Amino acid sequence: MRQSKTLIPTLKETPADADATSHKWLLRAGYIRQNFSGVYSFLPLGKKVLDKIEAIIREEMDAIGANEMLMPALQSADLWKETERWDAMGDELIRLKDRHNRDFVLGPTHEEIATSLIRDEVKSYKQLPLTIYQIQTKYRDERRPRFGLLRGREFIMKDAYSFHATDESLDERYQQMYQAYTRIFNRLGLNFRSVIADAGAMGGKDTHEFMALAEIGEDTIAYSSESDYAANIEMAEVLDTYQFSTEEQKELAKVDTPNQKTMQEVADFLEHDLDQGMKSLLFKADDQYVLVVTRGDHEVNEIKLKHHLHANDVELVDEDKTFELMNVGFGSIGPIGVAEDIKVICDYAVKSMANATCGANEEGVHYINVNPTRDLHDTEYADLRFVSEGDPSPDGKGVIKFAKGIEIGQVFKLGRFYAEKLAANYLNQQGKAETLTMGCYGIGVSRTLAAIVEQYHDDRGITWPVHLAPYQVHLLVLNNKPEQRELAEEIYQQLTDAGFDVLFDDRNERAGVKFADSDLIGIPYRITVGKKASEGIVEFKVRQTNEQDECHQGELVDYLN
Ligand code: ATP
Ligand code: MG
Ligand code: MG
Ligand code: MG
């Protein structure tokens, strides 16, 4: 490709809104442009890299027998109401109406569509297991779209859904997916860790996240210095004591009826628009569930919580469950209902200014305590186990260390949550209808692109791994002297014929501009046609290492191979 004929709008200065390293370099090197907050265009260079990442993902998905398809981004709200995610997703779900006033959503993910498709099209155990996947644009009205491609409101995801007759079959698929993800992220050259994650509102039990290690990462990973143990920090803290399963949830759901009015009041109170991140931590101690929502600086809060969880918060549980919401504003207490609401409460609470504490006994969640101003007291809550840096690792091997990670993928055993809600059944060998069990598996494709740049850059621009770079060779011609132009044209032809993907900087720009742009863009091999063109000699440079050499035109193909 001739640079004069493509669109690579490089920038000399860093745009003021570039809030992450990858964001800065992708903008400056002309890979992406923002349309509005959280929504981007991929320019030709960005699209080429995206395609290479997607090709690797496709190869690994196809290799384990997943079937690619494409589902709609525009979805009827009906299915979302059936699974109750119409409410559960809250403000993150982008909703719209058509001319007949019917409700629609722009898909943030595709469990509803995938499950209803399989419900309608798969009837027998003979057709199972079955795995489908797609690479598609997703929409989420993120509270804080930021860091460029890392947290967008429109982004590209690979999402896969597997359907099974038995739990064993799901376990097997989960392992295969986990291995495929490991291969994908290795092939993408990422420094990553897979961590034990929190199944949360998805209703699943077993789940792992894949985290690209990077300082900009919004997740904290606790990992062992000497073993494979790694968990996201929330899970590391609750892992030993808290296990969430749909069965457990169902049991809990039988107990008590939620006081909807009270819950709504709490929700309304918490419904402030807060421009700071909140984090919720769920603990189980002494047969009680404790949800703590922190605001402001998570690191400071986590440390505070570790040492100052207020025991009285737990004692606030009113055993006869009859109390009403009190004193909204400075500490409010009210019955909240079932364990499934924990996530709903979290979601409300994360938007609030408040510290919210929600407790429960074995039967369910019974109170939430909201306090926007109070400092946590000094009393330690005895049975809570916390993980901090330098404690022993839970598996007994080595000590815990913390690292920041970007969630680039997640694998989930969803179980029967969606299949039950959507009545997705199959006929077993005896001809009896049974509920399907499911897994779902996501990779943030556009986020992964940015994560790669977080790990592959220097102070001059991007330093792509060879197989992911938009072009393999960047050919520069320094001025318009006929011998330089002619040699450059010959090399362009020669390398293109030999199968190399070459970007040829044929623009009428100063040498300094061409070198700076070339460093920004980050193509692995640079060939510069300059002073020694009449002798057929060019300069050869490796972007990642800065190694530099002269070589003759005739040696170039060998050199590159
Ligand atoms: P996060 O915790 O960062 O909000 P998530 O857990 O909500 O992500 P999933 O529902 O697991 O995301 O979606 C699968 C993958 O999609 C994630 O692992 C991540 O790589 C990617 N992803 C999620 N949200 C975004 C976003 N706003 N922008 C870009 N990629 C995203
Ligand atoms: Mg999210
Ligand atoms: Mg997540
Ligand atoms: Mg996730």
What span, in angstroms and rounded, lies between the C-alpha atoms of 145 and 254?
Answer: 38
Residues 6+ apart with CB under 8 A from 193: 210, 211, 213, 221, 223, 230, 403, 405
C-alpha 163 to ligand 2 mean position (Å): 24
What span, in angstroms and rounded, lies between the C-alpha atoms of 236 and 242?
Answer: 10
C-alpha 411 to ligand 4 mean position (Å): 8
What span, in angstroms and rounded, lies between the C-alpha atoms of 284 and 286?
Answer: 7
Asked which of 201-210, 261-270, 510-519 is least confident by mean pLDDT, the reply is 261-270
pLDDT of 479 above 50: yes
pLDDT tens for each residue of 60-79:
999 999 999 999 999 999 99
Residues 6+ apart with CB under 8 A from 104: 74, 75, 76, 77, 95, 96, 97, 98
By alpha-carbon position, which residue is closest to atom 5 of ligand 1? 407
DSSP string computed for 218-240: SEEEEEESSSS-EEEHHHHHHTT
pLDDT of 183 reads 98
Residues 6+ apart with CB under 8 A from 34: 17, 27, 40, 148
Asked which of 129-133, 286-290, 434-438, 480-484 is least confident by mean pLDDT, the reply is 286-290
Residue type, 333: I
C-alpha 407 to ligand 1 mean position (Å): 7
Local confidence band at 393 (pLDDT 50, 70, 90 cut-offs): confident
Q: What is the mean pLDDT of the segment spanning 429-453?
A: 98
pLDDT of 538 reads 97
408 lines ligand 1 (CB under 6 A): yes
| Test site for ligand 1: of 190, 410, 454, most ligand atoms within 8 A of the Cβ | 410
141 lines ligand 1 (CB under 6 A): no
pLDDT of 371 reads 36
439 lines ligand 1 (CB under 6 A): no
- Helix runs in 396-531, H state only: 417-421, 445-455, 482-497, 511-521
| Test site for ligand 1: of 408, 447, 448, 452, most ligand atoms within 8 A of the Cβ | 447
pLDDT of 330 above 70: no
Strand partners, 130: 163
Which ligand 1 atom minimizes the distance to the CA of 209? 18
Distances from the Cα of 433 to the Cα of 246, 416, 436, angstroms: 20, 14, 9
Beta strands at 192-196 and 130-139: parallel, antiparallel or unpaired: unpaired
Local confidence band at 310 (pLDDT 50, 70, 90 cut-offs): very low
353 lines ligand 1 (CB under 6 A): no
Tokens representing 462?
């991007």
What span, in angstroms and rounded, lies between the C-alpha atoms of 281 and 249?
Answer: 18
pLDDT of 191 above 70: yes
Average pLDDT value for the chain: 78
Rg of the chain over all Cα atoms, to the nearest angstrom: 27
280 lines ligand 1 (CB under 6 A): no
C-alpha 442 to ligand 1 mean position (Å): 8
What span, in angstroms and rounded, lies between the C-alpha atoms of 352 and 350?
Answer: 5
pLDDT of 199 reads 46
pLDDT of 394 above 90: no
**Residues 450, 148: contact at Cβ < 8 Å?**
yes
C-alpha 407 to ligand 4 mean position (Å): 7
514 lines ligand 1 (CB under 6 A): no
C-alpha 410 to ligand 4 mean position (Å): 5
pLDDT of 343 reads 41
Question: Which of residues 90 and 161 earns the better pLDDT score?
Answer: 161
For 19, phi then psi, to 5°, come to -110, 10
136 lines ligand 1 (CB under 6 A): no
Beta strands at 502-505 and 473-477: parallel, antiparallel or unpaired: parallel
pLDDT tens for each residue of 353-384:
233 444 433 333 333 443 332 232 222 222 22
C-alpha 206 to ligand 2 mean position (Å): 18
Which ligand 1 atom minimizes the distance to the CA of 442? 14
407 lines ligand 1 (CB under 6 A): yes
| DSSP-derived secondary structure letter, 399 | B
Q: What is the mean pLDDT of the segment spanning 422-449?
A: 97
Percent of the residues in the chain that have a pLDDT greater than 70, as a whole number: 70
C-alpha 466 to ligand 2 mean position (Å): 31
Question: Which of residues 116 and 225 earns the better pLDDT score?
Answer: 116
Local confidence band at 88 (pLDDT 50, 70, 90 cut-offs): confident
Question: ipTM above 0.95?
Answer: yes
- pTM, two decimal places: 0.77
Asked which of 162-176, 236-250, 505-519 is least confident by mean pLDDT, the reply is 236-250
pLDDT tens for each residue of 533-545:
999 999 999 999 9
By alpha-carbon position, which residue is closest to atom 11 of ligand 1? 410
**Residues 290, 345: contact at Cβ < 8 Å?**
no
Question: Which of residues 83 and 255 earns the better pLDDT score?
Answer: 83
Local confidence band at 233 (pLDDT 50, 70, 90 cut-offs): low
pLDDT of 205 reads 56
Instruction: Classify residue 328 as exposed, middle or buried by CB count within 10 Å of its CB (0-12, 13-18, 19+).
Output: middle
C-alpha 456 to ligand 3 mean position (Å): 23
pLDDT of 251 reads 38
C-alpha 277 to ligand 3 mean position (Å): 14
Question: Residue 242: which of 136, 443, 383 has the closest Cα?
Answer: 383
Which ligand 1 atom minimizes the distance to the CA of 153? 27
Question: Residue 138: which of 110, 101, 166 has the closest Cα?
Answer: 110
pLDDT of 23 reads 98
By alpha-carbon position, which residue is closest to atom 13 of ligand 1? 442
pLDDT of 392 reads 72
pLDDT of 529 reads 98
**Residues 451, 212: contact at Cβ < 8 Å?**
yes
C-alpha 150 to ligand 1 mean position (Å): 9
| Alpha-carbon 313 to chain mean position | 33
Asked which of 79-93, 147-161, 208-222, 266-280 is least confident by mean pLDDT, the reply is 266-280
445 lines ligand 1 (CB under 6 A): no
134-138: long-range contacts, CB 8 A cutoff, minimum separation 24: 134/68, 134/69, 134/70, 134/71, 134/110, 134/158, 134/159, 134/160, 135/54, 135/57, 135/58, 135/68, 135/445, 136/70, 136/71, 136/73, 136/107, 136/110, 137/73, 138/73, 138/107, 138/108, 138/109
| Test site for ligand 1: of 22, 111, 157, most ligand atoms within 8 A of the Cβ | 157
Q: Assign 473 to helix, strand or coil.
A: strand
| Alpha-carbon 264 to chain mean position | 30
457 lines ligand 1 (CB under 6 A): no
DSSP string computed for 536-554: TEEEEEETTT--EEEEEGG
pLDDT of 248 above 50: no
pLDDT of 402 above 90: no
Question: Both ends of the chain: CA-CA distance in Å?
Answer: 20
Local confidence band at 220 (pLDDT 50, 70, 90 cut-offs): confident
Strand locations in 154-273 (E): 154-164, 192-196, 207-213, 219-224, 230-232
C-alpha 545 to ligand 2 mean position (Å): 37
pLDDT of 516 reads 98
| Test site for ligand 1: of 404, 407, 412, most ligand atoms within 8 A of the Cβ | 407
The top-scoring range by mean pLDDT among 109-113, 225-229, 293-297 is 109-113
**Residues 222, 236: contact at Cβ < 8 Å?**
yes
Local confidence band at 197 (pLDDT 50, 70, 90 cut-offs): confident
Local confidence band at 413 (pLDDT 50, 70, 90 cut-offs): very high
Residues 6+ apart with CB under 8 A from 510: none
